Amino acid sequence: MDLIHHRPPVAPRSGGPAVTDPVFLSPPDIGELEESYLLRAIRGGRFDPDGPELGAFERELAARVEVGYALGLSSGTAALHLALLAVGAGPGTVVVVPTLTFAATANAVTYTGAEPVFLDCEASTGNLDVDLLSDLLGRLADAGRRVAAVLTVDINGRCADYDRLLPLCAAAGVPVVEDAAQALGSTYRGRCAGTFGRVGIYSFSHNKIMTTTGGGMVVSDDPALIARARHLATQAREPVPHYEHRDVGYNYRLSTLLAALGRAQLTRLDTMIARRRALRERYERLFATVPGTRILGTGDPGSNCWLTSVVVDPERTGWQASRLAEHLAGHGVECRPMWKPMHRQPVYADRQAALTGAADLLFATSLSLPSGSALTDDQVERVFAGITEFLAERR
Ligand SMILES: *Cc1c(COP(=O)(O)O)cnc(C)c1O
């Protein structure tokens, strides 16, 4: 059974005839193997989190990324929430958050009662600007603020600059929490994304590098931290039969059936990464011939290439990234700008932020291109034909 290729027709944004095979940015890559793992889990007859699937998924993922412990949760957002609680984020504390990220990163900080302080990114990678971080940590210390964590995000699967970042945070006595929601399977100097901080998280949302259709994981080498997170994830129920609670807990555990789906996906992770990398290389070759364009965060052999984003300098190209997006939409191809920076979001507009303008510029000039491993060869050809046609009209 092939679940990938049967989608209802959608109307292109520019009007015109409906496209019968729309190309999405990062569709789930789920097929027969996942079906067999799910069926086996259902037939196994254990549907509580203490059944075999969830524990096995946690051990297999921990082994894959070479970390001591993993905890399977219902989403990457839940994982961020518990990771932040585990390092002491809460009312009266500050957490440094990259402004160029998906809202879940900042929202999880807000759930804890801590205050997010936004930090701009490097123009070349979209990752947190380490020079600016050094300055910000100094200013927060001078102001007597208690910084519970620096939250790093490995944008599009490229790891942040940990060689510079980790010593800086260690010197300031601030733990690093790594949001590797986009970076499962990536490496930096041979070490796996998600394992650089005191605690890290992954997302298995439907558009991530591998998916459980909804899910996440907290990873750490600290068994006490994981035990505490596990306790909070299961309603903070004390180990006695009569339902005793000393803390306000959460219902955040990953479903055992979805853990089975995750186990199947994990066996295919390297294959899925290889397909995304091949797509990235093809985009790089194409845009290398177009002056005024570049691929964000290029030249990193460790990246899982979760998304490929092209950055367009309209002064040099004579066209805006949004024009390319409109052209591709006419071919039924989905593209999107990178995330609108958090300091621009109405909900976070009044927060403190250390800015250079780099994230604003990336938001205005970038376009994320179809990058998923489930894209068929035919869909990939349509994407490249659409881009080539757009460029030819402007030469
Ligand atoms: C996807 C994502 C999340 C949230 O993960 P969910 O599983 O959707 O809750 C958090 N941070 C980043 C950077 C993400 O890309």
What distance in angstroms lies between residue 16's CA and the mean position of ligand 1's atoms? Answer: 34
Q: Atom 6 in ligand 1: which residue has the minimum CA distance? A: 76
* Cα separation, 64 vs 67, whole angstroms: 8
8 A C-beta contact, residue 83 and residue 199: yes
Cβ atoms < 10 Å from Cβ of 149: 28
Nearest 5°: the CA angle 115, 184, 21 is 105
Q: Facing residues of 10 across strands? A: 19
Q: Minimal CA–CA distance to 183: which of 160, 163, 149?
A: 160
Give the residue carrying structure tokens 């599009």.
156
Structure tokens at 34: 């996942």
What distance in angstroms lies between residue 306's CA and the mean position of ligand 1's atoms? Answer: 13
State which amino acid sits at residue 167. Answer: P
Structure tokens at 181: 């929601």
Is the C-beta atom of 152 inside 6 A of ligand 1? no
Torsion over CA: 85, 192, 356, 134 (sign): positive
What distance in angstroms lies between residue 184's CA and the mean position of ligand 1's atoms? Answer: 12
- Residue 20: per-residue pLDDT: 76
pLDDT at 2 over 90: no
Q: What order do you get walking across the sheet with 308-312 strand by strand?
A: 293-295, 308-312, 366-369
* Cα separation, 174 vs 166, whole angstroms: 9
Please report the domains of the chain, with CATH numbers, ordered by start residue. 32-267 (3.40.640.10), 269-393 (3.90.1150.10)
Structure tokens at 132: 């600016």
Q: Give burial (CB, 10 Å; 0-12/13-18/19+) of 63.
A: exposed
* Cα separation, 296 vs 178, whole angstroms: 20
Q: Facing residues of 366 across strands? A: 311
219-235 confidence digits (pLDDT tens): 999 999 999 999 999 99
Is the C-beta atom of 211 inside 6 A of ligand 1? no
- Residue 19: per-residue pLDDT: 65
What distance in angstroms lies between residue 179's CA and the mean position of ligand 1's atoms? Answer: 8
Tell me which of 205, 206, 255 to substitute to probe ligand 1's pocket, judged by most ligand atoms within 8 Å of the beta carbon: 205
Q: Which range is least confidently modeled, 15-29, 84-98, 291-305?
A: 15-29
Torsion over CA: 181, 185, 189, 194 (sign): positive
Could you tell me which residue, 17 or 246, shows the higher pLDDT?
Answer: 246
Percent of the chain with pLDDT over 70: 95
* Cα separation, 184 vs 200, whole angstroms: 11
What distance in angstroms lies between residue 316's CA and the mean position of ligand 1's atoms? Answer: 34
Cβ atoms < 10 Å from Cβ of 75: 21
What number does the ligand 1 atom closest to the CA of 80 have? 10
State which amino acid sits at residue 255. Answer: S
Q: What order do you get walking across the sheet with 353-354 strand by strand?
A: 69-73, 216-220, 199-203, 176-179, 146-153, 93-98, 115-119, 353-354
Q: Minimal CA–CA distance to 188: which of 300, 68, 97?
A: 300
Is the C-beta atom of 110 inside 6 A of ligand 1? no
* Cα separation, 204 vs 76, whole angstroms: 7
What distance in angstroms lies between residue 110's CA and the mean position of ligand 1's atoms? Answer: 15
Is the C-beta atom of 203 inside 6 A of ligand 1? yes
Structure tokens at 163: 């060689």
* Size of the chain in residues: 395
Is the C-beta atom of 182 inside 6 A of ligand 1? yes
| Average pLDDT in the chain | 94
Question: How would you classify residue 56: left for phi > 0, otherwise alpha for psi between -120 and 50, otherwise beta?
Answer: alpha
Q: Minimal CA–CA distance to 153: which of 185, 169, 176, 174?
A: 176
What would the mean pLDDT of 301-305 be, rounded to a whole number? 97
- Residue 3: per-residue pLDDT: 39
Give the torsion through C-alpha atoms of 69, 169, 179, 48, to 10 deg. 30
Task: Please report which confidence band the pLDDT of residue 5 belongs to, taking 50, 70 and 90 as the band edges.
Answer: very low
What distance in angstroms lies between residue 342's CA and the mean position of ligand 1's atoms? Answer: 14
- Residue 179: per-residue pLDDT: 98
Q: Which range is least confidently modeled, 82-96, 239-253, 255-269, 311-325?
A: 239-253
Task: Please report which confidence band the pLDDT of residue 132 belongs to, taking 50, 70 and 90 as the band edges.
Answer: very high
- Residue 395: per-residue pLDDT: 80
Beta-carbon contacts of 289 under 8 Å, excluding residues fewer than 6 positions away, are none
Structure tokens at 338: 């990178």
Is the C-beta atom of 181 inside 6 A of ligand 1? yes
Tell me which of 95, 97, 105 to substitute to probe ligand 1's pocket, judged by most ligand atoms within 8 Å of the beta carbon: 105
- Residue 18: per-residue pLDDT: 57
Residue 177 CB-half CA count within 13 A: 29
Beta-carbon contacts of 131 under 8 Å, excluding residues fewer than 6 positions away, are none
- Residue 251: per-residue pLDDT: 97
Tell me which of 121, 186, 203 to substitute to probe ligand 1's pocket, judged by most ligand atoms within 8 Å of the beta carbon: 203
Torsion over CA: 273, 178, 251, 75 (sign): negative
Task: Please report which confidence band the pLDDT of residue 60 belongs to, taking 50, 70 and 90 as the band edges.
Answer: very high
16-59 confidence digits (pLDDT tens): 555 678 999 999 999 999 999 999 999 999 999 899 999 999 99
What number does the ligand 1 atom closest to the CA of 153 have? 13
